[in-house]
């Protein structure tokens, strides 16, 4: 028997008591932005939040010509699974190839 996974929705914590806030209303402002009215069920704090698409990581297979988002720098994408110490480029201060270093002395 498999258990169904609960869908993961984006949440925000109350800045005062750190309880998960509840979205009372959400409104699409533009095709790339959404506004939500949030309330904390614990301390009754309420606020308005915005979610805005600022850059694309992967282009759409059905792009809307009216939507223009900058492409993210691929070097900043952390989901590639490459660790920071896996850099195989030669150091910037290494002017001679390794074989030539021994011959120079």
The whole domain housing 28 covers: 12-57
Name the band, by pLDDT with cuts 50, 70 and 90, for residue 13. very high
How many structural domains does the chain have?
Answer: 1
Rounded Cα distance, 43 and 101, in Å: 67
18 part of a folded domain: yes
Tens digit of pLDDT for each residue in 17-67?
999 999 999 999 999 999 999 999 999 999 999 999 999 888 899 999 999
Please say whether the beta carbons of 43 and 16 come within 8 A. Answer: yes
pLDDT at residue 90 above 90? no
Considering the entire predicted model, what is its pTM?
0.57
Please say whether the beta carbons of 71 and 56 come within 8 A. Answer: yes
pLDDT of residue 75: 67
Residue 70 or residue 82, greater confidence: 70
């Amino acid at each position: 028997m498999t258990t169904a996974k609960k869908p993961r929705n984006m949440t925000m914590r109350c800045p005062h008591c750190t309880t998960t806030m509840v979205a009372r209303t959400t409104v699409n402002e533009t095709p790339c932005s959404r506004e939500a009215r949030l309330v904390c069920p614990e301390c009754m704090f309420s606020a308005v939040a915005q979610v805005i698409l600022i850059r694309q990581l992967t282009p759409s297979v059905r792009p809307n010509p009216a939507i223009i988002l900058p492409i993210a720098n691929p070097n900043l994408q952390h989901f590639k699974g490459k660790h920071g110490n896996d850099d195989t480029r030669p150091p910037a201060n290494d002017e001679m190839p390794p074989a030539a270093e021994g011959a120079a002395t």
